Amino acid sequence: MGDAVARERLRRLFPELEARPHDLGRMLGWAEAVRLADAGDARDDQVRARIGLLDAATGAGLNRADRVLPAFAWLLAEYDRDPARAGGVSAATLVRFYPLALWGAMMDPAVFRGRLIDLTNDFAARVKLWGRGDDDLTGIRLLLVHHLGRESRLPTADRLVHRLATAADRRIPQLAGPWAFRLAKAVPVPKLWEIPDRPLRASAYEMPHDVAARLRRAVREACSRGVGRKRDVANTLPPLLRRAFRLGPHAPVGIRLELWPAAAAACEVLEAADPRAVRLRLPPGLGAQGDQPADFSVAAAALSAEADRLAAAFDRRNGNGLASARLRRDRAFVLGRDYHW
């Protein structure tokens, strides 16, 4: 594709994507914009497309390492080549997206343990170089402790939570999710999650993490009152399952580790309530059904097996058994059973 053709397509595409709400389509559109920008070989278009992709992927909860890390690494290299003339790549942009790129890396077991620590150390050095406060590192360090355990080289979770609670600017990093319930008690602020710089455009889109949370709640409610109310269960769970199956393949691996156990539990509830109510098509790569609708029992087994595989992959990367332990705990919680570590 010639430079002129690619730039003309991007001239029309950029405004459309920037006006679109944060959803799956926006993220896929910016991924296409990156491809077109590279085909056109115009530096300003390449910068704009990658910033758009980072914004869209992180804003829609689709922050996959295989999408976000290459785009961020390209921007970082562009800045390092000549910070004074980086073609629109500013230190403020990098500070905004570096933690989110790190979050995506931690949520993918294919990103090696050593690389996670190296990236975190690089971010720490740049935070100091750019004159940012240490609070910018706290959410990332919390996530690193969450995955790798309490290594001697890292502050413990309790110390990090205390640091957040006493932060001078009272700003809670959005990446401190695993400890949000503790922060809610420690910090008198109305909102724990905030998107940097500007609010997201309103959209009916549900993030994969939100779908997983809704599935867990729906299954818990069904289990708490028994599965005898077949109509309520059949009306509530299948639409949520379809959303999970649509979004899951695009979500980070760590989010799939939340989605698939909740979806498996939902299939178990549906099997117990009315196994003939409806059949569902599993996402690509799950089970041996191909494009054929699967019975609830088959779907539950396939989803559980995939969750076990993902948890084992995280355990190998992290060097511990925390992911599998959390998976067992989450399954017990969703199905209303007691669980002890």
Copy the structure tokens of residue 112.
Answer: 């090696």
Q: What is the pTM of this model?
A: 0.79
62 and 251 Cβ atoms separated by less than 8 Å: yes
Q: Quote the CA–CA distance of 341 and 16 in Å, as a whole number.
A: 49
Give the Å distances, CA to CA, from 154 to 46, 96, 140, 143, 286.
36, 22, 11, 11, 37
Give the Å distances, CA to CA, from 188 to 165, 167, 185.
9, 12, 7
User: pLDDT tens digits for the chain (341 residues)?
Assistant: 557 777 888 889 999 999 888 888 999 999 999 999 998 878 888 999 999 999 999 888 888 999 999 999 999 999 988 877 656 788 888 888 888 899 899 999 999 988 988 998 898 888 888 877 666 677 777 777 777 765 434 555 555 555 555 554 444 444 344 444 344 444 433 333 333 334 444 456 778 888 898 898 888 888 776 655 666 777 788 889 989 998 999 999 999 999 999 999 998 888 887 766 667 888 887 865 556 677 888 889 999 999 999 999 999 999 888 899 889 988 887 776 643 33
Copy the structure tokens of residue 64.
Answer: 């996959």
145, 149, 150, 155 alpha-carbon torsion, rounded to 10°? -10
Q: Which of 102, 92, 23 shows the shortest CA–CA distance to 69?
A: 102
Q: Quote the CA–CA distance of 88 and 79 in Å, as a whole number.
A: 9
Read off φ and ψ for residue 338, nearest 5 degrees: -75, 145
Read off φ and ψ for residue 179, nearest 5 degrees: -115, 20
Q: Which of 37, 47, 49, 119 shows the shortest CA–CA distance to 90?
A: 47
Alpha helices (H) along the chain: 3-19, 24-40, 43-59, 65-81, 91-106, 113-129, 135-148, 157-165, 180-186, 208-224, 230-247, 253-273, 296-318, 322-334
What b/e readout covers 150-179, taking b as 16+ CB neighbours within 10 angstroms?
A: eeeebbebeebbebbeebeeeebbbbbbbb
Q: What is the DSSP letter of 294?
A: B
